[in-house]
Amino acid sequence: MKLSEFKQYLSKSNSFDIILTDGTYVPKHFHITEMGVINKKYTDCGNTFREENYFTFQLWFANDTSHRLTSEKTVQIIESIEKNIICNDYEIIVEYQNQNTIGKYKLDFLEGHFLLLPTQTTCLSKDKCGIPKQKIKKNLNEITNCCTPDSNCC
């Protein structure tokens, strides 16, 4: 989801619920502890230079269970940031800690709720790193020989 879409959904929504793909909710008393733009410049394992820009924010919650961040307040925070940082319309990456480590998630909107979509690692230069193409597996029981007992080929 891009920043403009996020703001649009927030402005039309009365609630600000965030759900993980397993159906569990981020506790409703979450805070946004940081929000901004990340510019990542790097070389991948195939020696290709890459540059990526993201709009990012980090979710956190404490024991202040009466705290609620509204959609309206979140839009105000974003607009305040846009006065100080060139945000453009970047994709959003959300940082959220569940269990023991911080995860990076993409954001989607479904049936009135924001959804955290897990991100995956991958090799960005498979063609240069010698990663073999994955073979398509076929169930041998479903494949018939050209010669079957009833084919009269033998």
The pTM of the full predicted model, rounded to 2 decimals, is 0.79
**Dihedral sign for Cα atoms in the order 10, 15, 16, 22:** negative
Structure tokens at 116: 């955290």
Q: Which of the four pLDDT bands, split at 50, 70 and 90, describes residue 109?
A: very high
Looking at residues 4-29, what average pLDDT do you find? 92
Indicate whether 140 belongs to any domain.
Answer: no
Indicate whether 34 belongs to any domain.
Answer: yes
Domain count of the chain?
A: 1
Q: Which of the four pLDDT bands, split at 50, 70 and 90, describes residue 145?
A: low
Q: What are phi and psi of 112, to 5 degrees?
A: 85, 5
Average pLDDT, the chain: 89
Helix H or strand E encompassing 76: helix 71-84
Indicate whether 135 belongs to any domain.
Answer: no
24: domain range?
Answer: 3-125
Indicate whether 136 belongs to any domain.
Answer: no
Indicate whether 53 belongs to any domain.
Answer: yes
Structure tokens at 136: 């398509």
Looking at residues 77-106, what average pLDDT do you find? 92
Indicate whether 151 belongs to any domain.
Answer: no
- With CA atoms as reference, report the closest residue to 81 among 116, 60, 99, 56: 56
Indicate whether 108 belongs to any domain.
Answer: yes
Q: Are 71 and 10 in contact (CB under 8 A)?
A: yes
Indicate whether 133 belongs to any domain.
Answer: no
Strand 18-20 and strand 31-43: the pairing is unpaired
Looking at residues 106-115, what average pLDDT do you find? 94
The answer, yes or no, to whether residue 26 has pLDDT greater than 70, is yes
pLDDT for the residue 152: 66
